């Protein structure tokens, strides 16, 4: 299964904000730089994740975005289900017309079941469990926070 570019960017935002949690709030621009996604796309992603209560926003000079407690505990399956709820698994209805086989299509229902199985496989993976210090180290340096602290120091 494939996820949409919007869902991919959403998961990246959540992973980044969970991985840099101790650095304080990040601006949308910093998030865009950290995940390698254009600023205008990240702005739309952030808005949707805030609507889902997965991010907290603080206004003002020291403001920015942080992952919420609900965002940390959310599972990848739950996030993808919410983001992809309007996505059809197959292009049965297009601007060029409807598929002539759509009337009693078994493929469409099979694709819905397959997508749900995909989400179910991701239900056991929490956002908080995804980022690793090794993964986040270069991103922290890129954003100007320096290398992450290691357990031995």
Q: What is the pLDDT of residue 19?
A: 86
Q: What CATH number is given to the structural domain containing 68?
A: 1.10.10.10
Asked if residue 60 belongs to a domain, the reply is yes
The answer to whether 55 touches 67, Cβ cutoff 8 Å, is yes
The per-residue pLDDT of the chain, averaged, comes to 85
Q: What is the pLDDT of residue 94?
A: 66
Q: What is the pLDDT of residue 39?
A: 95
Asked if residue 66 belongs to a domain, the reply is yes
Q: Model's pTM, two decimal places?
A: 0.82
Q: What is the pLDDT of residues 43-102, one digit of tens each?
A: 999 999 999 999 999 888 878 899 999 999 999 999 999 998 767 766 676 667 677 776
Total domains, the chain:
1
Q: What is the pLDDT of residue 146?
A: 60
Q: What is the pLDDT of residue 121?
A: 96
Asked if residue 103 belongs to a domain, the reply is no
Q: Which of 18, 1, 15 is nearest to 81 (CA)?
A: 1
Cα distance between residue 90 and residue 80, in whole Å: 17
Asked if residue 63 belongs to a domain, the reply is yes
Percent of the chain having pLDDT more than 70?
Answer: 85
3-state DSSP assignment of residue 98: strand
Terminal CA-CA length for the chain? 41
Residue range 107-115: average pLDDT? 86
Q: What is the pLDDT of residues 122-143, one digit of tens each?
A: 999 999 998 887 777 777 777 7
Cα distance between residue 147 and residue 153, in whole Å: 12
DSSP string, 34-45: HHT--HHHHHHH
**Residue range(s) defining the domain that contains residue 64:** 5-85+126-142
């Amino acid at each position: 299964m494939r996820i949409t570019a919007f869902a991919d960017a959403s998961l990246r935002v959540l992973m980044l904000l969970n991985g840099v949690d101790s650095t304080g709030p990040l601006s949308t621009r910093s998030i865009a730089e950290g995940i390698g996604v254009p600023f205008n796309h990240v702005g739309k992603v952030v808005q949707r994740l805030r609507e889902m209560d997965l991010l907290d926003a603080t206004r003002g000079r020291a403001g920015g975005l942080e992952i919420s407690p609900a965002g940390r505990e959310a599972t990848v399956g739950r996030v993808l289900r919410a983001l992809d709820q309007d996505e059809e698994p197959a292009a049965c209805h297009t601007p060029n017309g409807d598929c002539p086989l759509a009337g009693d299509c078994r493929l469409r229902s099979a694709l819905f079941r397959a997508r749900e199985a995909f989400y179910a496989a991701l239900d056991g993976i929490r956002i908080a469990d995804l980022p690793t210090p090794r993964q986040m180290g270069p991103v922290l340096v890129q954003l100007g926070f320096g290398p992450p602290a290691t357990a031995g120091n």
